[in-house]
């Protein structure tokens, strides 16, 4: 489900709407849930694409297990979802009982509308240790209350063309650090003529992936700007080095990335687990030519994964039946069987860690030479570094994307480019630059 995983910035219209409602407008505020209450009545759920398909199937199963309940799932479409959510939160009316939100959007909404969503702690708070910690952190508010339940994780690994590595005499196990991968990339290019990595540089997506791998986002826990820290400079220097050495193929847009993979332009792709579905669906002819290993670390002993994408379910304070809404959310997302079914049928990789122990995730995949590819991602999900998101993430991402392009493609010194970006973000948001 590409749209659930490929994160797009909020539109200017949505930002304008949410930006003028920093205090939130949720009427009398969210209800307090009773974990012992019997769910009854009806609810409406908003989602889109494969996520909506999954929830419609689970809605029928929930209703069968809970007589006297009705769960209606509406596919509102990705392009409309955030406009509708922002307008509803601003107006204090018009929202359903359950909404889908992507992980990077969630903290901004929680910050801007602190009374806009129900505290789900009474229902799922005891299961904190069972969820991807990076997703749980992004779904809690300043008080520590869980306001959205994590759904799917974009756990990152390193996909590689096994035939290219073999021709260059490169063992996947030797790619433990980024320095080792860059060195291997030079050998691969000499032996095969192919670049190492294809990336859409202008989005800043690869840069932010590398930054989170080091345990940092665009802001710190205090909300200060962290785009010019040593970790950020290291990430941008790496990306610029790849380009300067002729190891990076720059493309624009999702379709161009997929086409590049089908054409075999580059040897490796640092990407989330959902790239498996992209490859098997869009490049079936490359079956047997791919493998997966952990993301290279920045230093020995460092994190070997990151995150790209994912979402969760939240209950707006406007819900007419928050008790049933919360019960359905827990049924869908805090249940091993249901999470595994969504993975098998819709490709939604669970944030719910117990589900990752299911035998399905240790099944050999013939596309990857019978490698147990999901096992690797299952093992790394609990290790994804948690980072801080703010209401200004979308605005900062646009500025950072321009800075990354200026450095990687324009030759600007990485440190200078990021310092300029930090100052621009400070001007645009009124936030302080981290010391």
Average pLDDT rounded to a whole number, residues 300-319: 96
Range of weakest confidence among 10-19, 211-220, 295-304: 10-19
d(CA 368, CA 299): 28
The DSSP secondary-structure symbol of 116 reads S
Helix (H, G, I), strand (E, B) or coil at 8: coil
Average pLDDT rounded to a whole number, residues 369-375: 97
Record the tokens describing residue 378, joined without a space: 């299952």
394: left (phi over 0), alpha (psi -120 to 50) or beta: alpha
pLDDT tens digit string along 59-99?
A: 999 999 999 999 999 999 998 899 999 999 999 999 999 99
Residue 192: its pLDDT value, please? 98
11: left (phi over 0), alpha (psi -120 to 50) or beta: beta
Give the side-chain half-sphere CA count within 13 A for 98.
32
Alpha carbon distances (Å) from 428 to 369, 387, 394, 396, 399 = 49, 21, 12, 9, 10
User: 268: which residues sit within 8 A by CB, 6+ positions away?
Assistant: 158, 159, 160, 161, 181, 185, 196, 197
Quick check: 407 and 417 in contact, CB under 8 A?
A: yes
Is 14's pLDDT higher than 70?
no
User: 183: which residues sit within 8 A by CB, 6+ positions away?
Assistant: none
Residue 10: its pLDDT value, please? 35
**How many Cβ atoms sit within 10 Å of the Cβ of residue 275?**
22
Measured on CA atoms in the order 251, 256, 260, 266, is the torsion positive or negative? positive
Average pLDDT, the chain: 93
pLDDT tens digit string along 119-162?
A: 999 999 999 999 999 999 999 999 999 999 999 999 999 999 99
pLDDT band at 26 (very low <50, low <70, confident <90, very high): very low
Maximum C-alpha span of the chain: 67
Among 35, 46, 43, 58, residue whose Cα is nearest residue 119: 35
Alpha carbon distances (Å) from 368 to 165, 265, 353, 371 = 14, 18, 24, 5
Is 273's pLDDT higher than 90?
yes
Record the tokens describing residue 400, joined without a space: 């950072």
Quick check: 369 and 162 in contact, CB under 8 A?
A: yes
pLDDT tens digit string along 88-97?
A: 999 999 999 9
**Where are the alpha helices (H) located in 93-161, listed in sequence order?**
106-112, 121-124, 133-138
Record the tokens describing residue 295, joined without a space: 């993301």
Query: Angle of helix 178-192 relative to helix 230-244, nearest 10 degrees?
Result: 10
Q: What are phi and psi of 2, to 5 degrees?
A: -55, -45
User: 207: which residues sit within 8 A by CB, 6+ positions away?
Assistant: 232, 235, 236, 239, 400, 404
**Where are the alpha helices (H) located in 272-335, listed in sequence order?**
275-282, 322-333
Using CB atoms within 10 Å of the CB of residue 19, give its burial: 0 to 12 exposed, 13 to 18 middle, 19+ buried: middle
Residue 246: its pLDDT value, please? 98
d(CA 124, CA 103): 17
Partnered with residue 311 across adjacent β-strands are: 102, 152
């Amino acid at each position: 489900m590409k749209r659930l995983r490929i994160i797009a910035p909020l539109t200017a219209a949505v930002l304008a709407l949410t930006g003028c409602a920093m205090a939130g407008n949720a009427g009398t505020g969210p209800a307090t849930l009773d974990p012992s209450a019997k769910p009854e009545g009806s609810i409406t759920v908003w989602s889109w694409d494969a996520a909506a398909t999954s929830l419609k199937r689970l809605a029928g199963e929930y209703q069968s297990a809970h007589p006297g309940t009705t769960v209606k799932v509406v596919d509102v479409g990705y392009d409309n979802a955030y406009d509708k959510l922002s307008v509803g939160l601003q107006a204090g009316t018009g929202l359903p009982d359950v909404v889908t939100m992507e992980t990077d959007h969630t903290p901004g909404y929680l910050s801007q509308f602190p009374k806009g969503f129900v505290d789900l702690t009474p229902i799922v708070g005891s299961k904190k240790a069972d969820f991807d910690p990076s997703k749980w952190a992004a779904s809690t508010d300043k008080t520590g209350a869980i306001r959205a339940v994590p759904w799917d994780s974009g756990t990152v690994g390193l996909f590689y063309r096994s035939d290219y590595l073999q021709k260059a005499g490169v063992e996947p196990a030797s790619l433990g650090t980024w320095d080792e991968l860059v060195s291997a990339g030079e050998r691969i290019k000499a032996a095969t003529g192919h670049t190492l990595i294809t990336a859409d540089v202008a989005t800043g997506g690869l840069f932010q992936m590398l930054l989170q791998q080091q345990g940092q986002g665009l802001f710190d826990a205090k909300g200060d700007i962290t785009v010019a820290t040593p970790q950020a400079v290291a990430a941008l220097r790496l990306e610029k080095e790849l380009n300067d050495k002729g190891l990076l193929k720059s493309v624009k847009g999702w379709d161009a990335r997929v086409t590049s993979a089908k054409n075999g332009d580059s040897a490796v792709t640092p990407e989330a687990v959902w790239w498996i579905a992209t490859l098997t669906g869009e490049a079936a002819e490359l079956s047997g030519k791919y493998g997966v290993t952990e993301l290279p670390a920045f230093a020995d002993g460092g994190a070997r994964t990151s995150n790209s994408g994912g979402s969760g379910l939240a209950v707006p304070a406007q819900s007419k039946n928050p008790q049933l809404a919360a019960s359905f959310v827990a049924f869908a997302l805090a249940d091993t069987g249901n999470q595994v079914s969504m993975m098998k049928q819709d490709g939604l990789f669970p944030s719910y860690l117990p589900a990752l122990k299911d035998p399905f995730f240790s099944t050999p995949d013939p596309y990857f030479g019978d490698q147990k590819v999901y096992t690797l991602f299952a093992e790394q999900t609990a290790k994804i570094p948690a980072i801080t998101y703010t209401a200004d993430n979308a605005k900062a991402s646009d500025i950072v994307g321009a800075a990354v392009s200026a450095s990687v493609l324009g030759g600007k010194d990485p440190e200078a480019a990021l310092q300029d970006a930090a100052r621009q973000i400070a001007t645009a948001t009124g936030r302080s630059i981290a010391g």
